């Protein structure tokens, strides 16, 4: 699968995850897990592929997704 198509699919899935995932604890811990897995994956996976996807690209996109989920973890909390 072309590199740009992989990136587009992963970005759409990440955007859906950010928009649809509402519970605070799940957002927090999934953000921490994606951030940690992405950082490990950047240094661990070098040109390895899972059927259809490049693991290095997946790791590179997991880091900002984890940061966004962690930073916006209180997005759906009620004020007051």
Domain count for the chain: 1
Could you tell me the pTM of the whole model?
0.86
> Does residue 7 lie within any of the structural domains?
yes
pLDDT at 18: 92
Nearest of 50, 17, 22 to residue 34 by alpha carbon: 17
Q: Kindly state the DSSP code that residue 45 receives in the 8-state scheme.
A: -
User: How far apart, in whole angstroms, are the C-alpha atoms of residue 49 and residue 59?
Assistant: 12
> Which helix (DSSP H) or strand (DSSP E) does residue 60 occupy?
helix 55-71
Question: For the purposes of burial, counting CB atoms within 10 Å of the CB of 45, is it exposed (0-12), middle (13-18) or buried (19 or more)?
Answer: middle
Domain residues for 12? 3-71
Render pLDDT for 17-28 as a digit per residue (tens, 0 to 9).
999 998 989 999
Render pLDDT for 32-45 as a digit per residue (tens, 0 to 9).
999 999 999 999 87
> Does residue 76 lie within any of the structural domains?
no
């Amino acid at each position: 699968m072309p590199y740009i198509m992989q990136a587009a699919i992963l970005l759409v899935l990440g955007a859906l995850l950010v928009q649809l995932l509402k519970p605070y604890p799940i957002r927090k811990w999934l953000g921490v897990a994606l951030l940690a897995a992405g950082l490990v994956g950047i240094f661990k996976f070098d040109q390895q592929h899972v059927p259809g996807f490049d693991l290095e690209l997946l790791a590179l996109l997991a880091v900002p997704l984890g940061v966004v989920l962690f930073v916006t973890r209180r997005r759906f909390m009620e004020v007051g």
